[in-house]
Amino acid sequence: MSDLKSQFLDKIKNKQAVIGIVGMGYVGQPLALRFTDVGFKVLGFDIDQTKVDELNGGHSAIEHIDDSLIAGAVASGMECTTDFARITDADAIILCVPTPLNKHREPDISYVTETCDAIAPYLRAGHIISLESTTYPGTTDEEVVPRATKGGLKIGEDIFVVYSPEREDPGNAHFNTNTIPKVIGGVTPACLEIGSAIYEHAIDKVVPVSSTKAAEMTKLLENIHRAVNIGLVNEMKIVADKMGIDIFEVIDAAATKPFGFTAYYPGPGLGGHCIPIDPFYLTWKAREYGVNTRFIELSGEINQAMPAYVFDKLVSALNDAKKPLRGSKILVLGIAYKKNVDDMRESPSVEIMEMIRDNGGDLSYSDPHVPTFPKMREHSFNLSSVDLSPEVLVSYDAVILATDHAKFDYDMIKANAKLIVDSRGIFRNVEPHIIKA
C-alpha cells in the first residue's frame, strides 16, 4: 500500500478528512447533513451567494429540510462558501451539480465540466473526487479524469476518482440518505477503496461495482426502468380512456396479483431531475456505438406528450361547457413535480401552465408547498399560490389537478369546482363535472 493511500485511509478512519460538497441543493444538502452528523467536517460549495448565506445562517430553502438541521450542522462546524480556492482545504470533493438536457434534448454536462475546470487549479495530492450527478457512461473517464490530472497528478496514486450516483427521493418518509444503498465505481482499485471507505461512514450499505461506467449505467437503468413503465401505463391510460375504462381501477385490480406485476400509475407527465432526463442520456450515448434505443425513445415520446394530452382534455371539457379557453379562468392545483414536496424540477405542471397561458387562458395556481412561482432556468410566471376556499373554487371555470398533494381538501374541491380535470385519479366516481385526464 502506498504511503499516500495509507495516510488517506487513516485520515478517513479517524474522521479527520474534510468532506467538500460542490452543489448545495436537493442532493448536496442531505449529504452534507449526513456527513456532519457522523462527525466529519463539511465544506459546502455553491455559486449562489444567497444560498450560501442562508445555509451559513442556519436556513434551508428546501421545504423538507428543517432549518434546525442546518443550524445544528453549522454549529457542528459545517460551513458553505462560493470561494473555490478553498477546495484545497477539503480532502474529498463530491460533485452534486445539475446535468439537464439542452433545447435539442441532448445531454448538457456543462455544469460538470465547468465545475471540474473551476476546481482543477486547487487540486493536490491526497484529493478524491466523487461525481454524483446523473450522466452517460464514460463521463467520469472522459471528462473528469483529464481535468483532474491536467496538473500532473496520477490517478490511483496522487489523486483518486470515483463515480457514485445520487439516489435522493425528496418527500419519501421511508428512506433517507443513509438508508439508501450507495453504488460506487472507481477509476482504479485504489480509487474504489478510498471512495468506499468515505461513503461507508455515512451510508449503511455501499455497493461497489467494477468501473465508473458500470456505476453510471446503473443509475440510468434505475430511472429508465421507471420511465419505460410509466410510459407504458400512460399509453394504457389513453387507450382505457377511449374505451370508457378507469385505468386506476384496472391498476389497483392488477396490483392484487402477488407476483410478476409492479404497479405504476399514470399522470400528467414525468418530473424531477432524473426520470424525464436519464433516458435521453443513454440514447444519446448509444448512438456513438451505432445502437438505436427505440424502446426507450418511444417511452420518452409518450411521457413528453402527456402535458399536451391533459391540456387537450381541458380544452375539450371547456368546449362541451360552451366556453372557449381564451378568457376562461383556469386554476392549476399542484405545480411541484410530485406530491408533498416543493421540488419544481422538470415539473409537467409548468408545461401545462404554459399551454394555458400561451393560448389565452386566465391562469392561476394553488400549491401549499410552492407559495411563489420560483426562478427557473427556462420558465417564468409572475404568480403566487392561491388559497383555496369554496368561494375561490367556484370563481374558476375549470381546475386541473396536476399534483395530488395530501394538503388539498379534495371533498371541498369536488363540491365547489365547476369543472375538474383530474390527471391523478383522485376522484374515482364518475360525475359530469369530473374529467379523467
Catalytic positions, please? 274
Q: Which residues of 86-95 are buried (b: 16+ CB within 10 A; e: fewer)?
A: ebeebbbbbb
CA dihedral for 82, 85, 87, 90, sign (positive or negative) = negative
Give percent helix, percent strand, percent coil of the chain, each to the nearest 5.
40, 15, 45
Residue reference for cell 456532519: 36
Taking the mean position of all CA atoms in its chain, how far away is CA 427? 27
Integer Cα distance of 437 and 422 in angstroms: 5
In the block, residue with C-alpha cell 468506499: 196
Residue type, 88: T
Please report where in the chains the cell 389565452 appears, as a residue. Answer: 360
Q: Are strands 182-186 and 159-163 parallel, antiparallel or unpaired?
A: antiparallel
> From the CA atom positions of the chain, what is the Rg in Å?
24
Contact between residue 418 and residue 323 where contact means Cβ atoms under 8 Å apart: no
Under 8 Å CB-to-CB from 192, ≥6 apart: which residues? 162, 184, 185, 186, 208
Question: Cell numbers at residue 100, please?
Answer: 439537464
Backbone φ, ψ for residue 149 (5° rounding): -105, 5
Amino acid at residue number 270:
L
219, 248, 224: which is closest to 236 by C-alpha?
A: 248
Chain-centre distance of CA 421, in angstroms? Answer: 26
CA 167, chain centre distance (Å): 9
Which residues on neighbouring strands pair with residue 130, listed in sequence order? 94, 162
CA distance 6 to 315: 66
